[in-house]
Amino acid sequence: MPVDYAHPEEDRFFNFALELVKKAGRLVRDAFDQPSSNVQTKASNTDLVTETDQAVEAMLIKGLAAEFPEHKFIGEESVAGGQKIEYTNAPTWIIDPIDGTTNFVHRIPMVAICVGLAIKKELRAGIVYNPITNELFTAQVGRGAFKNGFPIKSSQTEAVSKAVLLLQIGADRSEKFVNSFIESYKAAMVKSDARGHRSFGSAAINMAYVAQGCVDAYAEYGIHAWDIAAAAVIVKEAGGVVIDPLGSELNVMGRKVLCAGTRKLADELSGMLTHVDFEPEG
Ligand code: IPD
Ligand code: CA
């Protein structure tokens, strides 16, 4: 049976991680204004990594592993470096050192350090920190969601026609993928006359903004666990829903996500998306 409140031990995990994330924020902030000459590509021309991504991930994992030697890690850059994704019952930190690396490289201030904690494959805590705009989103199961220490709530919007939506396309530009995005966009913006569309270039920031209620729903295909794990806890604790775009329970390893302020809005959006299938990771 999943426990629906945070144990004292989890508080210790969370508080330790929070201090590390704040330190990591200083690294990101210091590097942000410097033109990144050392930008490399990973899986494709649109999939970027910088020395800062690597340094931040190494710092977070080193700090957490020293304090919690029995914990496991799934980190974007470690996986890019060849580490296998192993998602087990052990306490597992799911880390994206910089979500929004393209923004970071172009000095667009929408970047986030993401640290999520899963225990027995249940997402228990999340930290999403944008050190440039100084927005720190946090949540633990059963404790509510916060921005810079103040409680946040997702919006109560129930209809796409009243919603500001975020639909986003990531690094994968295969035809199937791009077509699905265009069809979904047309369905939401033209057929259903959504109030507006935004896309911040960071899955975690998109989700954190759904959590704080300034936008109403977000969907994306092709994302990874590190893009969404931390933010998923924040959205749920803010009163929102986070599901598989087809309407079933979220699989954090399933490479797709839909979140919204209300279940009604999530269901309407789910019904108009052109879905793409993925093999789950891990
Ligand atoms: C990406 C960002 C982007 C989303 C991609 C992600 P990264 O993560 O979240 O907004 O569209 O799907 O891969 O590479 O900047 O960590
Ligand atoms: Ca990243």
The alpha carbon of 192 and the centre of ligand 2 are apart by a number of angstroms equal to 33
Per-residue pLDDT at 1 exceeds 80: no
165 versus 8: the higher-pLDDT residue is 165
Mutation pick for ligand 1 pocket among 114, 227, 256, 276 (CB with most ligand atoms within 8 Å): 227
The Cα 212–Cα 135 span in angstroms is 11
For 85, which DSSP code? P
Which string of b and e fits 70-101 if b means at least 16 CB within 10 Å? ebbbbbbbbbbeeeebebeeebbbbbbbbbbb
* Residue 171 Cβ contacting ligand 1 at under 6 Å: yes
Catalytic site includes residue 33? no
pLDDT surpasses 80 at 5? no
Share of the chain above pLDDT 70, in %: 97
Q: Do residues 105 and 48 touch, judged by C-beta distance below 8 A? A: yes
Q: 47-51, 126-130, 242-246, 251-255: which range is least confident on average?
A: 47-51
Per-residue pLDDT of 205-220, as tens digits, reads: 999 999 999 999 999 9
What is the per-residue pLDDT for 43? 80
- The reply, when asked if residue 96 is annotated as ligand binding, is yes
Residue 274 annotated among the catalytic residues of the structure: no
Give the pLDDT band of residue 115 (cuts 50, 70, 90).
very high
- Binding site annotation covers 76? yes
Mean pLDDT of 191-202: 96
Ligand 2 center to residue 41 CA distance, Å? 12
Answer yes or no: are the C-beta atoms of 245 and 217 closer than 8 Å: no
CA torsion angle for 75, 81, 82, 86 (degrees, to 10)?
-10
Residue 218 carries which side chain, given as an amino acid letter?
Y
In a 3-state reduction of DSSP, which class is residue 222? coil
Q: If you count them, how many residues does the chain have?
A: 282
DSSP for 6-17 reads: --HHHHHHHHHH
Question: Residue 270: left (phi > 0), alpha (psi -120 to 50), or beta?
Answer: alpha
Query: How many Å apart are CA 178 and CA 231, to the nearest integer?
Result: 25
pLDDT at 88 over 60: yes
227 in contact with ligand 1, CB cutoff 6 A: yes
Helix (H, G, I), strand (E, B) or coil at 124: strand
Q: Tokens representing 163?
A: 């919603």
Q: Is pLDDT above 60 for 200?
A: yes
Q: What angle do CA 211, 60, 172 make, to 5 degrees?
A: 60
Q: What are the DSSP calls for 61-82, one per residue?
A: HHHHHHH-TT-EEEEHHHHHTT
Mean pLDDT of 10-36: 93
| Cβ–Cβ < 8 Å for 73, 64 | yes
Q: Across the strands, what pairs with 128? A: 114, 137
Considering every ligand atom shown, identify the ligand nearest to the alpha carbon of residue 56 and give its number: 2
Q: Which amino acid is at 255?
A: R
> CA–CA separation, 117 vs 144, rounded Å?
16
- Torsion angles phi and psi, residue 245, rounded to 5: -55, -20
CA 44 – ligand 1 centroid, Å? 13
Give the tens place of pLDDT for each residue, 37-77.
678 888 888 877 789 999 999 999 999 999 999 999 999 99
Mean pLDDT for 184-207 is 96
**Mutation probe of ligand 1 site: the residue of 54, 223, 259 with most atoms within 8 A of C-beta:** 223
Does position 233 have pLDDT exceeding 60, yes or no? yes
Domains of the chain: 9-151 (3.30.540.10), 160-271 (3.40.190.80)
Q: Say if pTM beats, i.e. exceeds, 0.85.
A: yes
Q: Which atom of ligand 1 sits closest to the CA of residue 202? A: 10
Name the phi and psi angles at 96, rounded to 5. -120, 110
